[in-house]
Amino acid sequence: MIKAETFLFLTQLQQNNNREWFLANKEQYLSAKENVEVFADEIIAKFRKLEPRLADSLTGKKSVMRIYRDVRFSKDKSPYKTNFGISLSTTPKGIHGPGYFVQLQPGQSFVAGGMWMPEAAHLKLIRQEVDYNGDKFLAILNDTSFKRNFGNSLNNNEKLKTTPKGYDAMHPQIELLKLKSFTVSRVFDDQELQSKKSVESVVACLKEIMPFNAFLAEAIDVNED
């Protein structure tokens, strides 16, 4: 589970996002990071039994993303992220494919999965799969348990305003075909993540994403025999 001290560190970091404060509180950072790595290890151990596509070499330490921000091309020069991210990839390093993600941030934590802004070739293949097997995709999205977890969270922020090339404007799945990202997410409150059942709750949520990710993986032909 996530300790209250980990969320407290992130709250304080948001209020003091500068190198001087960070260095003065390096021990708190290292303690919080260790807590997240242990949490990730526990998630991976349980989720690997359900999701065989997780890499054997994946560990909590490897899955936790760096807290340091790349500010080279950003107007926001804050040096640190104010969250911890856990990335659970199902594809070899360097290959973009559907994955799972856990964000830990006071009041803004969530579990997500899918493909965010896939490259053009992959997006074309996903649209083709939605075109060919729209009923199968809708069955996943409309599954009762899936809807209960993710509602209408399918990413509509990144979406074409016009019909994608090669498709009819009257296509029954035209709104899905307009998507440029295919991700879903479920919010977790701080209390859930500080519960003794937090790992089980996160893994149960990740399990619900598996059919969604499997559809995307089949579309782009990754990890398929």
What Å distances lie between residue 126 and 25, 36, 118, 181, CA to CA? Answer: 45, 33, 9, 10
Task: Locate 173 and state its tokens.
Answer: 């799945």
Task: Locate 146 and state its tokens.
Answer: 């899936």
Residues 6 or more apart in contact with residue 60 via CB below 8 angstroms: 36, 37, 38, 39, 40, 41, 42, 43, 44, 86
* pLDDT lower than 50: segments of the chain: 224-225
pLDDT at 223: 54
Partnered with residue 104 across adjacent β-strands are 84
pLDDT digits (tens, 9 = 90+) for 45-79: 999 999 998 988 899 999 999 999 998 888 889 99
pLDDT at 138: 97
pLDDT at 225: 42
Q: How many helices (H) and strands (E) would you count in the chain? A: 10, 4
Whole-angstrom distance, CA of residue 109 vs CA of residue 222: 29
Partnered with residue 102 across adjacent β-strands are 86, 111
- Give the domain ranges of the chain: 4-220
CB of 35 within 8 A of CB of 7? no
Question: How would you class 167 by CB atoms within 10 Å of its CB: exposed for 0-12, middle for 13-18, buried for 19 or more?
Answer: middle
Q: How far apart are the first and last CA of the chain?
A: 36
Architecture of domain 4-220: 2-Layer Sandwich (3.30)
Q: What is the pTM of this model?
A: 0.93
